[in-house]
Amino acid sequence: MARKIGRREFIRSGAALGAAVVVGGKLFGKWTGNPPSGESGPSVFVVKGTDSAAMTAKAVELAGGLGAYVPKGAKVALLPNVQSRHPGTFTKPEILRAVLRMCRQAEAAEIACLSWLGPTNWDGTGLARVIEEEGAALRLIPREDENFKSVPIPGAVALPEARIMNALFEYDLWINMPITKDHAGNKFTGTMKNLMGLNAPSSNRAQFHKPNWTTDPADIAHLEYCIVDLNFAVRPAFNIVDATEIIRTNGPMGPGELIKPGRIVAGVDRVAVDAYCATLLGFQGAEITAIKHASERKLGEIDLRKAGVLEVEI
């Protein structure tokens, strides 16, 4: 159940699955509280199977149902990963379709996918067709800087301000929908890195990637710190991660070696969700700089025993 009050943030609280939702605070601002921990029930919800749509629906159900995150009448933005049309590199269309339908069932007033990537990406992945078939909107934001808004990040380590697309601020909340996969620099992408899809490409290029990039490990660390900073600038109401079929090599673009964990991973806590997803690629969360750094900065729980993981197979 949910109730909508004036401002725009949705903080999940309560004791167990399907817990009540308290609405308050603001969507854009510094993270001020910890996500629900394993002490009050699991915070990472994993469904294993072969039917991606059913798995997605089940994962959301385990987390309390989408209505716990999307109040009736809300304007909802979605952020699937659509970087490449190579298999195992983008959020699967059937997962997006499932989320669009759940948003409708939650009686969202408006649903749109936001992206500064071009139509080629959306057409090639099949995501554009799903959006059209489900009656949602696809808003392709021009890459020019005037379409992005400065969001200061107090306490930033490497990125003093984000440049978030203006269009995002038209929505009450947004749902993060990455695919987890390999990355040539930091070996992992998941919920936290997907936020670069909201940040201005000029900022991603000039601020996240140091000038005169030397591929030195220190430069990779800088990228990771920027990713964590960005996650303090904006935060999703919920995360749904495609871990069904993913690339283990040659990320993030591919093509590369496909592995099939056959999982949908969901939750509010980006650090916990990413720590779980890292294990699917053969890493402990602490081995990935961004996850470790985000944990140290109290963005979320890196210890999966503390976070609590609920795994179900259908």
Summarize as ranges the residues that interact with other proteins (CB under 8 A): 83-87, 93, 120, 123-124, 126, 143, 183-185, 187, 189, 193, 196, 201, 204-205, 209, 213-218, 220, 249-258
The tokens for 205 are: 């290029």
> Shortest gap between Cβ of 184 and other proteins (angstroms)?
4
Which of 41, 49 has the CB closer to other proteins? 49
Which of 4, 209 has the CB closer to other proteins? 209
Which of 106, 291 has the CB closer to other proteins? 291
Query: What are the distances in angstroms from CA 142 to CA 117, 211, 220?
Result: 8, 24, 28
> Shortest gap between Cβ of 87 and other proteins (angstroms)?
6
- Asked if 134 and 101 touch (Cβ cutoff 8 Å), the reply is yes
> Shortest gap between Cβ of 209 and other proteins (angstroms)?
7
Query: What are the distances in angstroms from CA 191 to CA 124, 176, 187?
Result: 22, 7, 14
Which of 1, 184 has the CB closer to other proteins? 184
Which of 61, 245 has the CB closer to other proteins? 245
Q: Are strands 21-23 and 246-247 parallel, antiparallel or unpaired?
A: unpaired
Which of 75, 209 has the CB closer to other proteins? 209
- Asked if 5 and 24 touch (Cβ cutoff 8 Å), the reply is yes
> Shortest gap between Cβ of 80 and other proteins (angstroms)?
14
Other beta carbons within 10 angstroms of residue 4's beta carbon come to 14
> Shortest gap between Cβ of 238 and other proteins (angstroms)?
23
> Shortest gap between Cβ of 251 and other proteins (angstroms)?
7
> Shortest gap between Cβ of 22 and other proteins (angstroms)?
35
Which of 43, 81 has the CB closer to other proteins? 81
- Asked if 243 and 265 touch (Cβ cutoff 8 Å), the reply is yes
Q: Where are the extended beta strands (E) located within the chain?
A: 10-12, 21-23, 44-48, 75-80, 110-115, 137-140, 148-152, 161-165, 173-177, 238-243, 246-247, 258-259, 263-267, 309-313
Backbone φ and ψ of 311, nearest 5°: -115, 135
